[in-house]
Amino acid sequence: MYSMKPIYTNVDSIEIPDNIYKMKSLHIEDDVSQSSAGSNTTLNPRMQQLEERQLSILKKLSSLEDEVKQMSKHLGHKYGDSAPITKTTSSASTTASIPNKPVSLPDGTLDFVISVSAKNPSFSPMLIGELLKKRGVSVAFPTHGHSSCKDGSLTAEVLKPYGGALNGRLGTSTKAKVFLTFLIKDVPFCPSVMYSPVLQTKIIGDVNIARYLTRFLLSDLYDENNAEVVGAVYGWLDTARQMGNGNSKEKDAALKSLNAHLGRNQGFLCSGRFTLADLAVLSALLGARSNFKSLPKNAKAWFQTMASSFNLKNFDVPPTWVSS
Protein backbone atom coordinates (compact mmCIF):
# COMPACT_ATOMS: atom_id res chain seq x y z
CA MET A 1 0.00 0.00 0.00
CA TYR A 2 1.12 3.59 -0.53
CA SER A 3 2.12 5.73 2.45
CA MET A 4 0.53 9.05 3.31
CA LYS A 5 1.73 11.88 5.47
CA PRO A 6 -0.37 12.47 8.60
CA ILE A 7 -2.84 15.33 8.38
CA TYR A 8 -2.59 16.09 12.11
CA THR A 9 0.67 16.03 14.02
CA ASN A 10 -0.70 16.63 17.50
CA VAL A 11 -3.72 14.41 17.99
CA ASP A 12 -4.42 15.70 21.49
CA SER A 13 -4.95 19.25 20.17
CA ILE A 14 -7.78 18.26 17.77
CA GLU A 15 -11.07 19.76 18.80
CA ILE A 16 -13.92 17.28 18.49
CA PRO A 17 -17.35 18.79 17.77
CA ASP A 18 -19.93 18.15 20.46
CA ASN A 19 -22.85 17.94 18.01
CA ILE A 20 -22.07 14.33 16.93
CA TYR A 21 -21.96 11.10 18.93
CA LYS A 22 -18.65 9.51 19.89
CA MET A 23 -17.62 5.99 18.97
CA LYS A 24 -14.97 3.75 20.41
CA SER A 25 -12.05 2.82 18.18
CA LEU A 26 -12.40 -0.51 16.41
CA HIS A 27 -8.65 -1.03 16.27
CA ILE A 28 -7.49 -0.46 19.87
CA GLU A 29 -8.80 -1.39 23.27
CA ASP A 30 -8.21 0.40 26.52
CA ASP A 31 -6.11 -1.49 29.02
CA VAL A 32 -8.68 -2.12 31.73
CA SER A 33 -6.10 -2.24 34.47
CA GLN A 34 -4.73 1.19 33.57
CA SER A 35 -7.69 2.80 31.86
CA SER A 36 -8.07 5.24 34.70
CA ALA A 37 -4.61 6.58 33.98
CA GLY A 38 -5.41 6.70 30.25
CA SER A 39 -1.80 5.94 29.31
CA ASN A 40 -1.67 2.44 27.72
CA THR A 41 -3.53 1.02 24.67
CA THR A 42 -3.26 -2.46 23.10
CA LEU A 43 -4.11 -3.81 19.68
CA ASN A 44 -7.48 -5.43 19.19
CA PRO A 45 -6.92 -9.24 19.12
CA ARG A 46 -8.62 -9.48 15.72
CA MET A 47 -6.35 -6.82 14.28
CA GLN A 48 -3.36 -8.61 15.75
CA GLN A 49 -4.43 -11.85 14.04
CA LEU A 50 -4.80 -10.03 10.71
CA GLU A 51 -1.35 -8.53 11.08
CA GLU A 52 0.18 -11.94 11.78
CA ARG A 53 -1.60 -13.43 8.74
CA GLN A 54 -0.34 -10.60 6.57
CA LEU A 55 3.23 -11.16 7.70
CA SER A 56 2.87 -14.90 7.00
CA ILE A 57 1.56 -14.22 3.47
CA LEU A 58 4.40 -11.80 2.76
CA LYS A 59 6.94 -14.45 3.81
CA LYS A 60 5.34 -17.01 1.49
CA LEU A 61 5.33 -14.54 -1.41
CA SER A 62 9.00 -13.80 -0.80
CA SER A 63 9.74 -17.54 -0.84
CA LEU A 64 7.81 -17.96 -4.12
CA GLU A 65 9.69 -15.06 -5.66
CA ASP A 66 13.00 -16.74 -4.80
CA GLU A 67 11.80 -19.96 -6.47
CA VAL A 68 10.77 -18.05 -9.62
CA LYS A 69 14.17 -16.35 -9.75
CA GLN A 70 15.91 -19.74 -9.56
CA MET A 71 13.68 -21.16 -12.30
CA SER A 72 14.35 -18.11 -14.50
CA LYS A 73 18.09 -18.52 -14.03
CA HIS A 74 17.84 -22.23 -14.86
CA LEU A 75 15.87 -21.48 -18.07
CA GLY A 76 18.22 -18.73 -19.17
CA HIS A 77 15.67 -15.96 -18.68
CA LYS A 78 16.43 -12.74 -16.85
CA TYR A 79 13.98 -12.28 -14.01
CA GLY A 80 11.84 -9.19 -14.47
CA ASP A 81 12.06 -9.07 -18.27
CA SER A 82 8.78 -9.45 -20.16
CA ALA A 83 8.31 -12.49 -22.34
CA PRO A 84 8.61 -11.97 -26.11
CA ILE A 85 5.26 -11.49 -27.88
CA THR A 86 4.71 -13.78 -30.83
CA LYS A 87 2.52 -12.14 -33.45
CA THR A 88 0.36 -14.28 -35.71
CA THR A 89 -0.93 -11.75 -38.17
CA SER A 90 0.86 -12.97 -41.27
CA SER A 91 -1.37 -14.47 -43.93
CA ALA A 92 0.63 -17.69 -44.08
CA SER A 93 0.07 -18.57 -40.42
CA THR A 94 -3.50 -17.33 -40.01
CA THR A 95 -4.92 -18.66 -43.27
CA ALA A 96 -3.88 -22.16 -42.23
CA SER A 97 -6.09 -21.81 -39.15
CA ILE A 98 -9.27 -21.32 -41.20
CA PRO A 99 -10.98 -24.73 -41.30
CA ASN A 100 -10.83 -26.57 -44.61
CA LYS A 101 -12.62 -29.76 -43.67
CA PRO A 102 -14.67 -31.88 -46.10
CA VAL A 103 -18.32 -30.88 -46.30
CA SER A 104 -21.17 -33.34 -45.82
CA LEU A 105 -24.28 -32.12 -47.67
CA PRO A 106 -27.67 -33.72 -48.43
CA ASP A 107 -28.24 -35.33 -51.80
CA GLY A 108 -29.51 -33.25 -54.67
CA THR A 109 -29.23 -29.55 -55.50
CA LEU A 110 -29.47 -27.01 -52.69
CA ASP A 111 -31.01 -23.65 -53.64
CA PHE A 112 -31.22 -20.83 -51.10
CA VAL A 113 -33.06 -17.67 -52.16
CA ILE A 114 -31.68 -14.59 -50.39
CA SER A 115 -33.81 -11.45 -50.69
CA VAL A 116 -31.80 -8.24 -50.29
CA SER A 117 -32.25 -4.53 -50.90
CA ALA A 118 -29.91 -1.64 -51.55
CA LYS A 119 -30.34 -0.38 -47.97
CA ASN A 120 -30.26 -3.82 -46.35
CA PRO A 121 -27.66 -6.04 -48.05
CA SER A 122 -26.51 -9.50 -46.99
CA PHE A 123 -22.88 -10.39 -47.57
CA SER A 124 -22.51 -13.44 -45.31
CA PRO A 125 -23.80 -15.82 -48.06
CA MET A 126 -21.02 -14.59 -50.37
CA LEU A 127 -18.41 -15.39 -47.71
CA ILE A 128 -19.96 -18.79 -46.97
CA GLY A 129 -20.01 -19.56 -50.69
CA GLU A 130 -16.29 -18.80 -50.94
CA LEU A 131 -15.52 -21.15 -48.07
CA LEU A 132 -17.57 -23.89 -49.74
CA LYS A 133 -15.64 -23.43 -52.98
CA LYS A 134 -12.36 -23.82 -51.12
CA ARG A 135 -13.65 -27.12 -49.78
CA GLY A 136 -14.40 -28.43 -53.25
CA VAL A 137 -18.13 -27.68 -53.44
CA SER A 138 -19.53 -26.27 -56.69
CA VAL A 139 -21.31 -23.00 -55.83
CA ALA A 140 -23.16 -20.51 -58.04
CA PHE A 141 -24.45 -17.01 -57.24
CA PRO A 142 -27.37 -16.20 -59.59
CA THR A 143 -28.69 -12.64 -59.25
CA HIS A 144 -32.18 -11.43 -60.15
CA GLY A 145 -33.98 -8.09 -59.95
CA HIS A 146 -37.46 -7.90 -58.46
CA SER A 147 -40.37 -6.00 -60.00
CA SER A 148 -40.52 -3.78 -56.90
CA CYS A 149 -37.24 -2.09 -57.94
CA LYS A 150 -37.74 1.21 -59.73
CA ASP A 151 -36.01 1.92 -63.01
CA GLY A 152 -32.42 2.95 -62.44
CA SER A 153 -32.35 1.79 -58.79
CA LEU A 154 -30.20 -1.26 -59.55
CA THR A 155 -27.01 0.70 -59.98
CA ALA A 156 -23.55 -0.74 -60.54
CA GLU A 157 -22.70 0.11 -56.94
CA VAL A 158 -25.61 -1.98 -55.66
CA LEU A 159 -24.87 -4.93 -57.97
CA LYS A 160 -21.08 -5.02 -57.64
CA PRO A 161 -20.87 -7.06 -54.39
CA TYR A 162 -23.19 -9.66 -55.94
CA GLY A 163 -21.15 -10.10 -59.09
CA GLY A 164 -21.89 -6.85 -60.93
CA ALA A 165 -24.80 -7.96 -63.10
CA LEU A 166 -28.24 -9.58 -63.10
CA ASN A 167 -26.97 -12.86 -64.52
CA GLY A 168 -29.64 -15.35 -63.42
CA ARG A 169 -29.04 -19.07 -63.19
CA LEU A 170 -28.33 -19.50 -66.89
CA GLY A 171 -25.63 -16.86 -66.62
CA THR A 172 -23.81 -18.69 -63.83
CA SER A 173 -24.14 -22.47 -63.75
CA THR A 174 -26.90 -25.04 -64.08
CA LYS A 175 -24.94 -27.90 -62.52
CA ALA A 176 -23.76 -26.41 -59.22
CA LYS A 177 -24.35 -28.28 -55.99
CA VAL A 178 -25.26 -25.14 -54.01
CA PHE A 179 -27.08 -22.13 -55.46
CA LEU A 180 -27.06 -18.94 -53.40
CA THR A 181 -29.63 -17.01 -55.41
CA PHE A 182 -29.87 -13.28 -54.71
CA LEU A 183 -33.17 -11.51 -55.36
CA ILE A 184 -32.75 -7.75 -55.13
CA LYS A 185 -35.97 -6.09 -53.96
CA ASP A 186 -37.22 -2.72 -52.78
CA VAL A 187 -39.45 -3.98 -49.96
CA PRO A 188 -39.31 -4.10 -46.13
CA PHE A 189 -38.06 -7.08 -44.13
CA CYS A 190 -34.78 -7.52 -45.95
CA PRO A 191 -32.47 -9.32 -46.00
CA SER A 192 -34.08 -12.74 -45.67
CA VAL A 193 -33.40 -16.30 -46.76
CA MET A 194 -35.77 -19.09 -47.84
CA TYR A 195 -34.82 -22.67 -48.62
CA SER A 196 -38.17 -24.47 -48.53
CA PRO A 197 -41.52 -22.67 -48.08
CA VAL A 198 -42.98 -25.99 -46.94
CA LEU A 199 -40.45 -26.59 -44.17
CA GLN A 200 -39.68 -23.12 -42.84
CA THR A 201 -40.61 -19.47 -42.59
CA LYS A 202 -38.38 -16.64 -43.76
CA ILE A 203 -35.23 -16.03 -41.74
CA ILE A 204 -34.66 -12.29 -41.58
CA GLY A 205 -31.41 -10.41 -40.88
CA ASP A 206 -27.87 -10.99 -42.12
CA VAL A 207 -26.71 -12.34 -38.74
CA ASN A 208 -29.55 -14.87 -38.67
CA ILE A 209 -28.87 -15.77 -42.30
CA ALA A 210 -25.20 -16.39 -41.48
CA ARG A 211 -26.13 -18.62 -38.55
CA TYR A 212 -28.71 -20.58 -40.57
CA LEU A 213 -26.46 -21.17 -43.61
CA THR A 214 -23.50 -22.05 -41.41
CA ARG A 215 -25.45 -24.67 -39.48
CA PHE A 216 -26.77 -26.09 -42.77
CA LEU A 217 -23.60 -25.97 -44.88
CA LEU A 218 -20.54 -25.45 -42.62
CA SER A 219 -21.45 -26.93 -39.25
CA ASP A 220 -17.83 -27.04 -38.03
CA LEU A 221 -17.84 -23.23 -37.78
CA TYR A 222 -20.56 -23.42 -35.15
CA ASP A 223 -20.01 -26.16 -32.56
CA GLU A 224 -23.34 -26.43 -30.72
CA ASN A 225 -21.90 -29.05 -28.33
CA ASN A 226 -19.47 -26.57 -26.75
CA ALA A 227 -21.53 -24.29 -24.49
CA GLU A 228 -18.61 -21.94 -23.81
CA VAL A 229 -17.90 -21.36 -27.50
CA VAL A 230 -21.61 -21.00 -28.29
CA GLY A 231 -21.93 -18.30 -25.63
CA ALA A 232 -18.94 -16.41 -27.01
CA VAL A 233 -20.23 -16.71 -30.59
CA TYR A 234 -23.66 -15.38 -29.60
CA GLY A 235 -21.99 -12.39 -27.97
CA TRP A 236 -20.24 -11.55 -31.24
CA LEU A 237 -23.43 -12.09 -33.21
CA ASP A 238 -24.97 -9.33 -31.09
CA THR A 239 -21.96 -7.13 -31.88
CA ALA A 240 -22.35 -7.87 -35.60
CA ARG A 241 -26.06 -7.03 -35.39
CA GLN A 242 -25.23 -3.73 -33.67
CA MET A 243 -22.59 -2.90 -36.28
CA GLY A 244 -24.94 -3.72 -39.14
CA ASN A 245 -28.21 -2.22 -37.88
CA GLY A 246 -27.30 0.35 -35.24
CA ASN A 247 -27.01 4.10 -35.55
CA SER A 248 -23.65 5.83 -35.98
CA LYS A 249 -22.83 5.82 -32.25
CA GLU A 250 -23.76 2.15 -31.90
CA LYS A 251 -21.64 1.22 -34.93
CA ASP A 252 -18.67 3.12 -33.46
CA ALA A 253 -19.16 1.40 -30.10
CA ALA A 254 -19.24 -2.02 -31.79
CA LEU A 255 -15.99 -1.27 -33.63
CA LYS A 256 -14.33 -0.10 -30.40
CA SER A 257 -15.44 -3.29 -28.66
CA LEU A 258 -14.00 -5.36 -31.52
CA ASN A 259 -10.69 -3.49 -31.41
CA ALA A 260 -10.38 -3.79 -27.61
CA HIS A 261 -11.04 -7.54 -27.70
CA LEU A 262 -8.50 -8.10 -30.48
CA GLY A 263 -5.94 -6.17 -28.45
CA ARG A 264 -6.20 -8.90 -25.81
CA ASN A 265 -6.82 -11.83 -28.17
CA GLN A 266 -4.92 -11.63 -31.44
CA GLY A 267 -6.01 -13.77 -34.38
CA PHE A 268 -9.65 -14.84 -34.29
CA LEU A 269 -12.61 -13.84 -32.13
CA CYS A 270 -13.46 -17.16 -30.45
CA SER A 271 -11.61 -20.29 -29.34
CA GLY A 272 -8.44 -19.38 -31.26
CA ARG A 273 -9.87 -20.38 -34.64
CA PHE A 274 -12.14 -19.10 -37.40
CA THR A 275 -15.81 -19.45 -36.44
CA LEU A 276 -19.24 -18.09 -37.26
CA ALA A 277 -18.32 -15.09 -35.07
CA ASP A 278 -15.56 -13.97 -37.47
CA LEU A 279 -17.77 -14.52 -40.50
CA ALA A 280 -20.73 -12.55 -39.10
CA VAL A 281 -18.62 -9.61 -37.89
CA LEU A 282 -16.73 -9.48 -41.21
CA SER A 283 -20.02 -9.37 -43.12
CA ALA A 284 -21.36 -6.61 -40.84
CA LEU A 285 -18.14 -4.61 -41.22
CA LEU A 286 -18.36 -4.84 -45.01
CA GLY A 287 -21.96 -3.69 -44.86
CA ALA A 288 -20.97 -0.70 -42.71
CA ARG A 289 -17.82 0.17 -44.67
CA SER A 290 -19.17 3.63 -45.60
CA ASN A 291 -19.34 4.46 -41.87
CA PHE A 292 -15.66 3.84 -41.16
CA LYS A 293 -13.03 5.72 -43.16
CA SER A 294 -10.31 3.92 -41.22
CA LEU A 295 -9.99 1.05 -38.76
CA PRO A 296 -8.16 1.07 -35.41
CA LYS A 297 -4.94 -0.90 -35.22
CA ASN A 298 -6.16 -4.27 -33.90
CA ALA A 299 -9.34 -4.35 -35.97
CA LYS A 300 -7.30 -3.45 -39.05
CA ALA A 301 -4.90 -6.36 -38.49
CA TRP A 302 -7.84 -8.73 -38.05
CA PHE A 303 -9.55 -7.42 -41.20
CA GLN A 304 -6.36 -7.86 -43.24
CA THR A 305 -6.19 -11.47 -42.01
CA MET A 306 -9.76 -11.99 -43.22
CA ALA A 307 -9.00 -10.23 -46.52
CA SER A 308 -6.15 -12.66 -47.14
CA SER A 309 -8.63 -15.54 -47.01
CA PHE A 310 -11.56 -14.04 -48.95
CA ASN A 311 -11.89 -12.28 -52.28
CA LEU A 312 -13.16 -8.82 -51.27
CA LYS A 313 -12.35 -6.92 -54.46
CA ASN A 314 -16.03 -6.28 -55.23
CA PHE A 315 -16.67 -4.46 -51.96
CA ASP A 316 -14.62 -1.31 -52.57
CA VAL A 317 -13.27 -1.19 -49.03
CA PRO A 318 -11.53 2.08 -48.01
CA PRO A 319 -7.84 2.06 -49.01
CA THR A 320 -6.82 2.75 -45.40
CA TRP A 321 -8.24 -0.65 -44.36
CA VAL A 322 -5.70 -2.56 -46.43
CA SER A 323 -2.72 -0.19 -46.43
CA SER A 324 0.27 -1.10 -44.27
Q: Domain segments of the chain: what residues?
A: 110-219, 221-322
- Indicate whether 85 pLDDT > 70: no
How far is 309 from 170, CA to CA, in rounded Å? 28
Which pLDDT tens digit goes with each residue over 132-176? 999 999 999 999 999 999 888 888 888 999 888 888 776 677 789
Residue 86 pLDDT more than 50?
A: no
The residues near 135 (Cβ < 8 Å, ≥ 6 apart) are 100, 101, 102, 103
102 alpha-carbon distance from chain centroid? 27
- Work out the average pLDDT over 107-115: 94
Segments of 34-146 assigned E as strands: 41-43, 110-116, 139-140, 143-145
Cβ(254)–Cβ(292) below 8 Å: no
pLDDT in tens, 266-315: 789 988 889 999 999 999 999 999 999 999 999 999 999 999 989 999 99
Q: Residues 6, 12, 15, 18: is their CA dihedral positive or negative?
A: positive
Rg of the chain over all Cα atoms, to the nearest angstrom: 32
Q: Counting every residue, how long is the chain?
A: 324
Cβ pair 193, 215 in contact under 8 A = no
Class of domain 110-219: mainly alpha
DSSP characters over 142-202: -EEE-TTSPTT-S-HHHHGGGTSS--TTTTT-SS-SEEEEEEE--SSS-SEEES-TTT---
Sign of the alpha-carbon torsion through 72, 74, 75, 81: positive
Res 173: pLDDT: 72
Please state, in angstroms and rounded to a whole number, the distance separating the CA atoms of residues 201 and 189.
Answer: 13
What are phi and psi for residue 3, nearest 5 degrees?
Answer: -95, 155
> At 43, is the pLDDT very low, low, confident or very high (cuts 50, 70, 90)?
low
Going by C-alpha positions, the residue among 217, 216, 191, 220 that lies closest to residue 206 is: 191
Of the pLDDT bands very low, low, confident and very high (cuts 50, 70, 90), residue 12 is low
- The pLDDT, as a whole number, for residue 34 is 43
Q: Which CATH architecture has domain 221-322?
A: Up-down Bundle (1.20)
Angle at the Cα of 113 from the Cα atoms of 147 and 212, rounded to 5 degrees:
140
**In angstroms, what CA-CA distances link 278 with 48, 173, 214, 274, 285?**
55, 29, 12, 6, 10
Mean per-residue pLDDT for 181-200? 90
Residues 100, 113, 131: CA angle, nearest 5 degrees: 10
pLDDT the model gives residue 252: 95
DSSP character at residue 42: E
Euclidean distance between CA atoms 304 and 307, whole angstroms: 5
The answer to whether domain 110-219 and domain 221-322 are alike in fold is yes
- Between the alpha carbon of residue 201 and those of residues 40, 193, 196, 222, 301, the distances in Å are 83, 9, 8, 22, 38
